[in-house]
């Protein structure tokens, strides 16, 4: 990969990450259109550190409030006593599905799911699902009503987004953007190579 390719794909990642159009798919499609080699799942995961940093900076105040609330809850023996503490734990709990699925499906994520046919089908399917969701959604539930079930549904939706073409911001409501923080770090588990695998370096 050349410096120009890396810069172009960095711009593509920055533009597409927070739009419901799948940044991972575009990191595969753009090189194909330009005649470049597939940068691979490892590159896609690592380049997301940039957008992860942007999310951490943007939500730093909110995350600090939630972390302090969670710590106070643990100290007092009442970890669920405030909305901020509950949100902190729900973000942690909601990260489990994508971590588990990412490790279990690593071969598919690095291999067959990067097929342009899979990506095209996924973009079409989830585009239709987004349109249906937009038409049917009531938008009546606020963050204060989120519980265990909702946190797991968001986590599972993030896990579905391991398939290139299914956007992370599209499969989950954008009001739950804080889930992007642990998801970005957890994504680095996916392309990690086994010590004996000579096809790539361990991350």
**Domain span including residue 24:** 3-189
Q: Is the pLDDT of residue 49 over 90?
A: no
Most confident among 42-56, 138-152, 162-176, 188-202 (mean pLDDT) = 42-56
Q: Is the pLDDT of residue 20 over 90?
A: no
Q: How many domains does the chain have?
A: 1
Residue 28 in any domain: the answer is yes
Residue 203 in any domain: the answer is no
Name the DSSP letter for residue 157.
Answer: H
Average pLDDT over residues 53-74: 90
Contact by Cβ (8 Å): 109, 41: yes
pLDDT of the residue at 172: 64
Cα torsion 12, 155, 43, 25 to 10°: value is -40
**Which position has the token pair 């204060």?**
144
DSSP conformation letters of 105-138: THHHHHTGGG-HHHHHHHHHHHHHHHHHHHHH--
Read off the tokens for 26. Answer: 């575009």
Residue 177 in any domain: the answer is yes
pLDDT digits over 174-189, tens only? 444 444 444 444 444 4
Q: Is the pLDDT of residue 101 over 70?
A: yes
Query: pLDDT grade, residue 151 (50/70/90)?
Result: confident
Read off the tokens for 186. Answer: 């957890």
């Amino acid at each position: 990969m050349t410096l120009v390719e890396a810069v172009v794909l960095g711009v593509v990642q920055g533009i597409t990450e927070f739009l419901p159009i799948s940044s991972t798919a575009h990191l595969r499609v753009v090189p194909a259109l330009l005649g470049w080699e597939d940068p691979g799942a490892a590159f896609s995961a690592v380049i997301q550190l940039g957008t992860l940093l942007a999310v951490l900076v943007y939500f730093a105040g909110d995350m600090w409030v939630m972390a302090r609330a969670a710590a106070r809850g643990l100290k007092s023996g009442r970890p669920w006593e405030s909305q901020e503490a509950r949100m902190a734990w729900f973000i942690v709990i909601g990260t489990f599905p994508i971590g588990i699925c990412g490790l279990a499906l690593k071969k598919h994520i690095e291999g067959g799911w990067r097929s342009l046919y899979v990506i095209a089908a996924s973009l079409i399917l989830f585009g239709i699902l987004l349109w249906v969701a937009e038409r049917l959604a009531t938008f009546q539930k606020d963050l204060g009503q989120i519980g265990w079930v909702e946190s797991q549904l968001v986590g599972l939706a993030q896990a579905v987004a391991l398939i290139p073409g299914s956007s992370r911001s599209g499969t989950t409501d954008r009001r739950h953007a804080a889930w992007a923080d642990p998801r970005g770090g957890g994504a680095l588990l996916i392309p990690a190579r086994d010590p004996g695998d000579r096809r790539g370096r361990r991350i």
